[in-house]
Structures are given as structure tokens and as C-alpha cells.
Amino acid sequence: MEERIEITATREDSGMRMDLFLARHASITRSAASRLISEGLVDVEGSYPKPSLKVRAGMVIHVVMKKPQVSYLPVPQDIPLNILYEDAHIIVIDKPAGLVVHQGAGRTDHTLVNALIAHYPEIAGVGSKERPGIVHRLDKLTSGVMMVAKTADAYHTLSLAFKLHTHERIYRAICYGHMPQAKGCIRTLLNRHPKDRKRMSSKVTHGREAVTYWDEVKKWDGFSLLSLSLATGRTHQIRVHLADMGNPVVADPKYGGRKRVNNVKDPVIGSYIKGLNRQMLHAYKLGIKHPISGEWMEFVSNLPDDMKALIDLLDQKESGS
């Protein structure tokens, strides 16, 4: 849960560092204030400050304070899983769109974690109690390959691999329009949107570096199928990068993929897109060293039916059939 507060600096505050100012007026530690600033939860008149910014009298500071969430230990729930691979140390899952990975934001059950501990009770003691076995995640409405740790050794090794980006992740996305060229790189900062805290934005002056490489697989009139690889793993990274390039992922409810359908002239394609209940983004391939043997392994999830059906429709329109 989050609470947005507003603080106006007084003459006595003038010249004080931003992190010290927040610590004093929000009744938090200086390190906690620095974390809020680095996470983009503090804005000054629409821009993100640095901890060292000197406060001026009359300056209006908005802060999004995170309220502690009630934590629930997950319970086993018999939810079917599509297992691509498993051994004594790891499980590789083909996650369907719509399945939340772990509890949070009001969701306490019917998650991937609930399914995992039902099928693999031993995972309950691996890593976080609330997110056992989870070393990376996919958005609720994104489908595709996910890896889960079954043992503590695998958990620590995989967590480090994802943190250091020593793995390979390739996504497939159907987006609106065409990219500037067949291959390229999007390198920006990424942070919370200054006006909508539930969204992210790459059009910011302060944030964390985000790097996405694209490779055009196919294009049609008004649409493209892209292969995208991540050099960083920021929240909503692909969706934000494509949207801010003017090429939102088709049917993306948060980053413009819903509104753009109103410009689709073909009634059949437009009707199909309006009926989609998630963005056309799929985690297609994961390459990573096995956490115990060190062997390089690659796992692929075929495109789901909803994306294949849209591709078929676009092909039919292109061929005139």
C-alpha cells in the first residue's frame, strides 16, 4: 500500500539536503529517505531530485510513502503447471498469461507460488517465505519461460545470475507500427511516471539504466513482430520502451496498447484485438548456466494461441486472402 504526502519547505529548511529534509519531516531514517529518492518515489515540482539537492523555502515536495503490507504465508493450491524441465535443483515453467507469480498488491492466493508448494512442498523453505523458490518474475499478463529454484544452493546461485544479468532472456512482442530500423538498442533511464505512480516511464531525468535490444522478425501494415533481449531487468521495461518509442505492445492495458486499437482500420483485426485480455508479450527463451553443474541450458516456450491467432490474421490481411 502507498500513501502520497505533500511537504512544503519553510525558511528554516532552506539549504538542507533533500535526504535530511525528508528524514526530519517524514519521521524516517536518512537511509530510508535515500531509498525513497532512488526509487523515484520523491518528486519536486514534477522532477526527481538527488539526495544532495538543497531545499529552498517554498519548495513543494511530494513523497509516496510505502505502508507495510500484511504478509501471508502461501498455502498449497492445486493449480496445474506446464513444466518444461525439472531436475533435483530447478524447475522450468511455461507460465500462462493471467497467473500472478507471488502474493502482493492485495493478492494472497491463486498465484504461481501457491501452485509450486502444492506440487513441490520442499520449496516452501527455499529463499523467502512469502516467495519461495522465486528468482525472477514475469508480469501477470505476460506469458512464457520462468525458472524456479528447488534447493537453497540453486536459489542463491540463480538469484546472483539474474542480478548480474549473466543469463539470456529473449521475448516476442507484437507491437503497433514499425521500429526505426530492423535492429537496434533502446538505452534510457527508467523510473516511475511523475504523474501516475502505478506506471513507469523512460522519459525521466533520474532513474536506473534500462537497455533493450530489438530485432525485427516480421512486419505488416501497421504492426511488427519483434524479438527483444534484455541487458537489464527493470519493471515493465519492454512495455515502457516500446510505448515511449511510439510502438506500444498490442493490447497493453497500461501503456497505450488499448487506445491504439481505435486506429486499426481492418474490422476483423480490430475486433480481435479488442477481445484480447492481455498484452501481446511472451517470454520466448531463457538461457542460463545450471546453478549446480554450470552447464549452459536453453529453454523455449512456443508462442501462445492468442499471439499465433493474431499473426495468422495479419498474414491473411497481408496476402489479401
Can you tell me the mean pLDDT for 38-59? 86
pLDDT at res. 220: 97
> Looking at the predicted structure, is the pLDDT value of residue 221 above 90?
yes
pLDDT at res. 321: 66
Domains and CATH numbers, the chain: 2-66 (3.10.290.10), 83-164 (3.30.2350.10), 169-319 (3.30.2350.10)
pLDDT at res. 106: 63
Can you tell me the mean pLDDT for 294-299? 97
Greater model confidence, 259 or 295: 295
pLDDT at res. 70: 57
Q: What percent of the chain is predicted at pLDDT more than 70?
A: 96
HEC string for the chain: CEEEEEEECCHHHCCCEHHHHHHHHCCCCHHHHHHHHHCCCEEECCECCCCCCECCCCCEEEEEEECCCCCCCCCCCCCCCCEEEECCCEEEEEECCCCECCCECCECCCEHHHHHHHHCHHHHHCCCCCCCCECCCCCCCCEEEEEEECCHHHHHHHHHHHHHCCCEEEEEEEEECCCCCCEEEEEEEEEECCCCCCCEECCCCCCEEEEEEEEEEEEECCEEEEEEEECCCCCCHHHHHHHHCCCCECCCCCCCCCHHHHHCCCHHHHHHHHCCCCCCEEEEEEEEECCCCCCEEEEECCCCHHHHHHHHHHHHHHHCC
Can you tell me the mean pLDDT for 203-227? 93
Greater model confidence, 282 or 202: 282
Of the pLDDT bands very low, low, confident and very high (cuts 50, 70, 90), residue 173 is: very high
Of the pLDDT bands very low, low, confident and very high (cuts 50, 70, 90), residue 318 is: confident
Over the stretch 226-282, which tens digit does the pLDDT of each residue have? Answer: 999 999 989 899 999 999 999 999 999 999 878 899 899 999 999 999 999 999 999
Active-site residues: which are they?
139
- Least confident range of 62-71, 193-202, 244-253, 288-297: 62-71
pLDDT at res. 311: 98
> Looking at the predicted structure, is the pLDDT value of residue 126 above 70?
yes
Can you tell me the mean pLDDT for 5-32? 89
With a threshold of 0.85, does the pTM exceed it? no
pLDDT at res. 67: 66
Mean pLDDT of the chain: 91
Can you tell me the mean pLDDT for 203-219? 92
Over the stretch 62-116, which tens digit does the pLDDT of each residue have? Answer: 888 876 555 678 899 999 999 999 999 999 999 999 999 988 766 678 899 999 9
pLDDT at res. 105: 60
